[in-house]
Amino acid sequence: MRGESKPLQQSTGTADKREAQQVHDRLAAARWEQERLGVKPRRTWEEAVLRWLLETKHKATHEADKAKLRWLDPYLGGKTLNEIDRTLIDRIKFDREKVASPTTANRYLALIRAILRKAATEWEWIDRVPKVNMFRESEGRVRSLSPAEFQRLVHELPQHLADMAMFAVATGLRQANVTGLEWQHVDLVRRHAWIPAAQHKNRKPHSVPLNDLAMQVLTKQVGKHARWVFTFQGEPVQRTSTKAWAAALERAGIEDFRWHDLRHTFATWHRQAGTPTHELQRLGGWKTSIMVERYAHLAPEALQGAASRLDSVISYVPATDKDKGASP
């Protein structure tokens, strides 16, 4: 009859009649629980992953998430969300920490937690989320160079990397935004560049005022390529942390320094020059001031003027023992 629902058919996955009957009975009981008692259907990890990837495909970390999920599949693949408990998550935690840093392991744990929270609070697939204990992380790394150290490094770098390093320190731009900079996003007349939201880490457009140092670097690049600002042998630069970068660091006598630390150097020099937090946040394109505050201790003298304001309010003249009438 038209409109009449058909019975649900599903393979039991076994040829044994007795076992097949047991599987059938379990499925029938599960359907009865769902229909009559309102019990949630048992969703699988794969279902949750698929929905997560569809709903978060706009994220800048989408490809990184997919790589993490591939690594997690041997642990979580084939399991229902209700089977993912604290014991299993702790196993993943310590197994990942064996081959990576605690910070990296935490990123995997955070992804599991985010998916399970979505499944509980938005999709209503599960009633509770198991506790996820993260590794304790140290404070964010802050490694910067002095102006003299930076000049030594620039002197040892190949010219194309020297120009890019100088521009990174002048603007505070991240590596991907330097290598991917296009002339259509640069206005030399107004001394201004911008990073589109799709290319910026916090997914908001970022305005970049160009100081004299940045302008000098950009002027050198004019005419080298119609589209890309920074090139090498006519092609856009894809990587900066190359063998040439490592060799230059060694010749300059600089240890434990990464390309991203040029951004820390930019922030450090600004704080030492007295740039306040709110201005530095906008210059560097940080989403919150919390990320900028870690540089505050680098320029305590910047607060000296604020601290001195009390000097005009009250003064301290120590009294002598004679003034106090005290006996010797």
Write down the catalytic residue from 45, 108, 259, 295: 295
At residue 111, φ and ψ (nearest 5 deg) are -70, -45
| Active site annotation includes 43 | no
DSSP state of 127: S
The label of the residue with tokens 């279902």 reads 47
Write down the catalytic residue from 68, 93, 174, 264: 174
> Which long-range contacts link 200-209 to residues 24+ away (Cβ below 8 Å)?
200/285, 201/60, 201/174, 201/285, 202/285, 202/286, 202/287, 203/60, 204/287, 206/177, 206/285, 207/282, 208/171, 208/173, 208/285, 209/283
| Active site annotation includes 263 | yes
| Active site annotation includes 259 | no
**Which of helix, strand or coil describes residue 25?**
helix
In sequence order, which residues have a C-beta less than 8 Å from that of residue 57 and are 6 or more positions away? Answer: none
Cα–Cα distance between 194 and 101 in angstroms, integer?
Answer: 34
| Active site annotation includes 206 | no
| Active site annotation includes 286 | yes
Write down the catalytic residue from 160, 201, 258, 294: 201
| Active site annotation includes 260 | yes
DSSP-assigned letters across all residues of 161-225: HHHHHHHHHHH---HHHHHT-BGGGEETTTTEEEE-GGGSTTSS-EEEE--HHHHHHHHHHTTS-
Write down the catalytic residue from 31, 118, 260, 294: 260
Query: Which residues are catalytically annotated?
Result: 174, 201, 260, 263, 286, 295
